[in-house]
Structures are given as structure tokens and as C-alpha cells.
Amino acid sequence: MEGTKQYKLKNIEVSKALKLEEEINYQKGQVVSKTLVQNKSVSMTLFSFDQGEEISAHSSDGDAMVTILDGTGRFTVGDEVFILSKGETLVMPNQVAHAVYGEEQFKMLLTVVF
């Protein structure tokens, strides 16, 4: 592909080295998301959570994997609670309710495989 830098999967450039935690910013009192890839097979989304912000319990049709890029978040999967920090990853199976809470400001990459 000639001039690959002009092509994007969605909101991310190809053929370019990136630091994912720099691709999304914190916003006071908010959960911010930035979709990187979205198709019928996979979804990849960056999230930033301000401290105390949350996404309430929900389930997905796909298996979800989160990788923490910065800070610390709390994940409730079914009846289990996980506290994850930078560099840690958690897989949440499809059809199992899960919730996310900002123990402190944190950023994560969410990958869902359908």
C-alpha cells in the first residue's frame, strides 16, 4: 500500500509505532472511550476512567479481554472482584455480567472477540 500512513482501521493509524495510553486522555468526572477497530469479528476500544467513575453491570455477546495501560481499576465478573493495575490483563467470558469501576484514574484497552 502506497502511503500507508493515511489509512486507518478507524481511529488509529497503521504502520506506525504507538503508545496506546497516549491515544486517550482523562476527563474529570467521565468515562471516555475511543474505538480503534470495529467489525463483525472484533472490537478494540480504549477507555479512560476518572477516579470513582464506572460502567454498571452488563454482558456481551463476545469474550472480552481488558489490559490496563495506566492506573488501577476494579472489575466485577459474575460474583468475583478483580483489582487490576498497569500491565495486568483479565478475560471476561461472554454472557457473564461484568462491571468496571475506577479505583483511581485508569486507562485500559478492551478487546472483544465475537
DSSP result, 1-47: -TTGGG-BSSSSBSSS---GGGSS---TT-EEEEEEEESSSEEEEEE
pLDDT above 90 covers what percent of the chain? Answer: 83
Classify residue 86: in a domain, yes or no: yes
| Confidence category of residue 71, pLDDT binned at 50, 70, 90 | very high
Q: Is residue 3 part of a domain?
A: no
Residue 76 lies in a domain: yes
Domain that holds residue 47: 19-25+32-113
Asked if the structure places residue 9 within a domain, the reply is no
Average pLDDT over the chain, rounded to whole? 92
Distance CA 54, CA 105 (A): 11
Question: Mean per-residue pLDDT for 4-33?
Answer: 85
| CA atoms within a 13 Å half-sphere pointing along the CA-CB vector of 106 | 26
Contacts of 40 (CB under 8 A, 6+ apart): 114
Q: Is position 61 within any domain?
A: yes
Per-residue pLDDT reduced to its tens digit, 78-96: 999 999 999 999 999 999 9
More confident residue, 26 or 13: 26
Whether 85 maps to a domain, the answer reads: yes
Q: Would residue 6 count as lying in a domain?
A: no
Domain count, the chain: 1
Residue 4 confidence (pLDDT) above 50: no
Q: The domain spanning residue 67 has which CATH number? A: 2.60.120.10
Q: Is residue 8, in this structure, part of any structural domain at all?
A: no
